[in-house]
Amino acid sequence: MKYWQYLVRRLAGILVSLIGLSIIIFTTSRVLPGNPARMALGALASEEQVQALAAEMGLNKPIPLQYLDYMRGLLVGDLGTSLETKRAVSTDIVYYLPATLELITVSMFLTVVIGIPLGVVAAQNKDGLTDNATRLVAFFSVSVPGFFIAIMFQLLFGYLLEWLPITGRLGSEFGSGVSRFTGFLLVDTLLSGNLAAHVDAWAHIILPALALSLAGIGQVMRITRSSMIDVKDQDYVEAERGFGLPSWLVTYKYTLKNAFIPTLTILGLLYASLLGNAFLIELVYSWPGLASYGVTAVLNNDFNAVVGVTMTIGVAFVSINFLVDVLLGRVDPRIRLAMEEAT
């Protein structure tokens, strides 16, 4: 099979699984206990009002028909109305998504700049003290609940040392001085020319981003270490050493470059999985992102919002995984060959 045929097949598979996902999520959200129309109107509304709204929302139709209506709306970007905010779910998602993406992107950056160097150092000192220390750190980072470490950071850096703010994205004093351009505060504060607010936005994002990146740092560190060790014993690296190249050049130019491929795979998977972990971190830091919006929706049985958020995350999740595959195929011909041979 040709490489592009493989990619087309993957895309078709992704489409099928997204449709499967939408059916599952839609159906489970529609068998909710309690009447969503009643919930939207509150306890004081009369039975007639509730019935009228239920009819308007299409809740009296059979679920498969409701699903078709929903999918028809989805094609034109209509995800229904949130019972909680009374706004269109798509508007809400566009509003809350940048905060989450900003948090995830900064976490990813921290994961890379902390995880990869630590992995390199560990590989250089294989079985030495540093290696064993990083192994312990890795164990710690995948075993500790993210929400717990988030609370620990708040206690330590917020309450005890009073270095950093513990909730929100921006101090209330900057509220009026920053206009919304992109929804990414680190960008918007700059575009508004408000440097003090920009610094404040960094101060707010650093703790949640660090808490979110911890599990990934452990994984990136271990995978960088083991692939560095694998590559180090390859003949071409031995040859370069034999030519008398300095060891730092061999390490950084030749070894790391080739060892980076497994790391790249993990990074892609991580970026996607941060979408899930962000749910807990945003809750701890009152971070007004998509996850906070989703949790509120779940707790309030806001069914359109639940489906909308879930599908958004699903699409983002599978797209990132697919992009990583494409990228890997481009950088490593061996992987492309393996893909062509598969099925």
Partner 1 sequence: MSAESAGVLDRFVSAERRELWQRSWKRFTSRPMSVIGLGIIIAIILLAVFAPVVAPYPEHAGKFTDFSNTLQPPSLDHPLGTDHVGRDVLSRILFGYRLSLMLVGVVLGFGVPVGVLLGLVAGYYGGWTETIIMRATDTALALPPLVMALAITSALEPTLTNAMIAIAALWWTWHARLVQSIVASERGEEYVQAAKLAGASTPHILFREILPNTLSPILVKVTLDAGFVILIGAGLSFIGVGVQPPQPGLGTMVSQGTSYLPDSWWVSVFAGLAIFVLVMGFNMLGDGLRDLFDVEVNR
Residues near partner 1 (CB under 8 A) are 13-14, 16-18, 20-21, 24-25, 28-29, 31-33, 139-140, 142-148, 151-152, 154-155, 158-160, 272-273, 275-277, 279-280, 283-284, 294-295, 297-299, 301, 306, 310, 313-314, 317-318
Instruction: Supply the minimum distance, in Å, between the C-beta of residue 300 and partner 1.
Output: 10
Q: Kindly state the DSSP code that residue 82 receives in the 8-state scheme.
A: -
Q: How far is the CB of 89 from partner 1 (least distance, A)?
A: 14
Q: Which CB sits closer to partner 1, 205 or 318?
A: 318
Based on the number of CB atoms within 10 Å of its own CB, is 18 exposed (0-12), middle (13-18) or buried (19 or more)? Answer: middle
Contact 202, 188 (CB under 8 A): no
Closer CB to partner 1, 110 or 274, in the complex: 274
Q: How many CB atoms are located within 10 Å of the residue 263 CB?
A: 23
DSSP state of 174: G
When the beta carbons of 267 and 280 are compared against partner 1, the nearer one is: 280
- Least separation in angstroms between residue 139's CB and partner 1 is 6
Q: Quick one: 20 or 58, whose CB is closer to partner 1? A: 20
Closer residue to partner 1 in complex, CB, 44/299 = 299
Q: What is the DSSP string of 114-147?
A: HHHHHHHHHHHTTTSHHHHHHHHHHHHHHHS-HH
C-beta of 161: minimal distance to partner 1 in Å?
A: 11
Which residues lie closer than 8 Å to 121 by C-beta, 6 or more apart?
130, 134
Please state, in angstroms and rounded to a whole number, the distance separating the CA atoms of residues 6 and 343: 9
Q: What angle do CA 282, 174, 274 make, to 5 degrees?
A: 20
Q: How far is the CB of 85 from partner 1 (least distance, A)?
A: 17
